[in-house]
Amino acid sequence: MKITPSNFKGKQSSRDWIERQMNDPYVRRAKEENYRCRSAFKLTEIDGNYKIIKPGDIVIDCGACPGSWSQVAVERIRQKGKHGYDDNQGMVIAIDLQDIEPIDGVTVFPKSDFTTSETQSKILRVLDGRHANVVLSDMAPKASGNREHDHDAIFQLCLSVLKFSSHVLDSGGHVVCKLWDGRETNKIKEVMNRMFTTVKTVKPDASRSDSAEIFLLGQYYKLRKS
pLDDT digits (tens, 9 = 90+) for 87-128: 557 999 999 999 999 999 999 999 999 999 999 999 999 999
Using an 8 Å Cβ cutoff, are 60 and 225 in contact?
A: no
The rounded distance, in Å, linking the Cα atoms of 52 and 4 is 39
In the set 9, 31, 51, 178, the catalytic residue is 178
Using an 8 Å Cβ cutoff, are 192 and 218 in contact?
A: yes
* Predicted confidence (pLDDT) at residue 16 exceeds the cutoff of 50: no
pLDDT digits (tens, 9 = 90+) for 120-150: 999 999 999 999 999 999 999 988 889 999 9
- pLDDT of 18: 42
Tell me the three state secondary structure of residue 68.
Answer: helix
> Strand locations in the chain, DSSP E?
58-62, 79-81, 84-86, 91-95, 106-109, 132-137, 169-180, 196-202, 213-221
**178 an active-site residue?**
yes
Report all structural domains of the chain as residue ranges with CATH numbers, in order of start.
Answer: 37-221 (3.40.50.150)
- pLDDT of 30: 82
- pLDDT of 5: 46
pLDDT digits (tens, 9 = 90+) for 167-213: 999 999 999 999 999 999 999 999 999 999 999 999 999 887 778 99
Rg for the chain (alpha carbons), in Å? 18
